[in-house]
Amino acid sequence: MTGARGGQLAKVALVTGAGRGIGKVISDHLEKVGYKVIRHDIKDGDLTGQYMGSYIASKHRSVNLLVNNARPLIRERLGEEGAETFHDEMMVGVWTPYFLAKYLLPKMPWGSSIVNIGSVTSFTVSGESAGYQIAKGACLQLTRVLAQLGDPYGVRCNCVLPGAIVKGKHPLAKQMKNVHFAAQHGTPMDVAYAVEFLASEKARFINGTSLIVDGGLTIHDNWQTWQRAKNLKP
Instruction: Go through the domains of the chain in sequence order and give each one's CATH number.
Output: 12-167+188-215 (3.40.50.720)
Percent of the chain with pLDDT over 90: 43
With 50 as the cut, is the pLDDT of residue 6 above it?
no
Residue 73 or 89, more confident:
89
Asked if the model's pLDDT at residue 157 lies above 80, the reply is yes
**Mean pLDDT, rounded, for 74-101:** 82
Residue 72 in this model has a pLDDT that exceeds 50: yes
> For the chain, what's the residue count?
234
* C-alpha–C-alpha distance, residues 118 and 189, integer Å: 15
- Looking at residue 178, the DSSP 8-state letter turns out to be H
- Beta-carbon contacts of residue 154 (< 8 Å; ≥ 6 apart): 109, 110, 111, 112
65/135: higher pLDDT: 65
pLDDT surpasses 80 at 233:
no
- Between 113 and 186, residue with greater pLDDT: 113
pLDDT at 190 (0 to 100): 94
Mean residue pLDDT of the chain comes to 81
Contact 40, 34 (CB under 8 A): no
**Per-residue pLDDT for 121 more than 90?**
no
3-state helix, strand, coil in the chain (%, to 5): 50, 15, 35
Whole-model pTM? 0.84
**Which of 57-61, 108-112, 133-137 is the most confident on average?**
108-112
Lowest mean pLDDT among 47-56, 75-84, 91-100, 220-229: 220-229
